[in-house]
């Protein structure tokens, strides 16, 4: 079921969304300051490309307050827009019964888009 869901996801918009994330990640990686943010965008792009069967987990090893600082910067400089767009898409997919699994994936993407630093995709 995960494979079928992923194939349908990719065919009906997941590929375009992932390519957008990858292009944004490349643009962010052009500057030294943007590299950590670009790596998080690549993480979002990989999850967006094949979301069914993946989970987002918090890292076990502490890395100090750097993750918190980076998540605050992320939130104010672009993360809020990503979260709101995925929440809106999730609600729109939940309107139909057929779209509920895809709405769940958008809510998962919104969760990691809110605070991507210190989280891993398993």
Q: Considering only CA atoms, which of 110, 116, 45, 108 is closest in space to residue 74?
A: 116
What span, in angstroms and rounded, lies between the C-alpha atoms of 86 and 29? 23
Q: What tokens does 65 get?
A: 């307050």
pLDDT tens track for 1-49: 789 999 999 999 899 999 999 999 999 999 999 999 999 999 999 999 9
Q: Considering only CA atoms, which of 116, 86, 88 is closest in space to residue 20?
A: 86
Question: Would you state the pLDDT for residue 42?
Answer: 95
User: How deeply is 59 buried, as exposed, middle or buried, from its count of CB atoms within 10 A (0-12, 13-18, 19+)?
Assistant: exposed
Question: Would you state the pLDDT for residue 58?
Answer: 87
Q: Could you state, in order of their start, the residue ranges of all structural domains in the chain?
A: 2-121
Residue pair 24/78 in contact (Cβ under 8 Å)? The answer is no
Q: What is the mean pLDDT of the chain?
A: 91
Would you say residue 61 has pLDDT above 90?
A: no
Would you say residue 62 has pLDDT above 70?
A: no
What span, in angstroms and rounded, lies between the C-alpha atoms of 36 and 70? 9
Q: What tokens does 21 get?
A: 């994330």
The pLDDT of 66-70, averaged and rounded, is 88
Q: What tokens does 102 get?
A: 């895809």
The pTM for the full model equals 0.89
């Amino acid at each position: 079921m995960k494979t079928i869901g992923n194939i349908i996801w990719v065919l009906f918009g997941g590929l375009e969304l992932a390519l957008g994330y990858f292009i944004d990640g490349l643009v962010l990686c052009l500057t030294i300051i943007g590299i950590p943010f670009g790596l998080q965008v690549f993480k979002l792009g990989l999850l967006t490309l094949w979301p069914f069967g993946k989970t987002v987990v918090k890292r076990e090893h502490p890395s100090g307050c750097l993750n918190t600082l980076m998540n605050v910067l992320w939130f104010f400089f672009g993360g809020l827009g990503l979260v709101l767009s995925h929440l809106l898409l999730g609600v729109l997919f939940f309107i139909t019964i057929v779209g509920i699994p895809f709405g769940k994936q958008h809510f998962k993407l919104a969760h990691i888009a809110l605070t991507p630093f210190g989280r891993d995709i398993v």
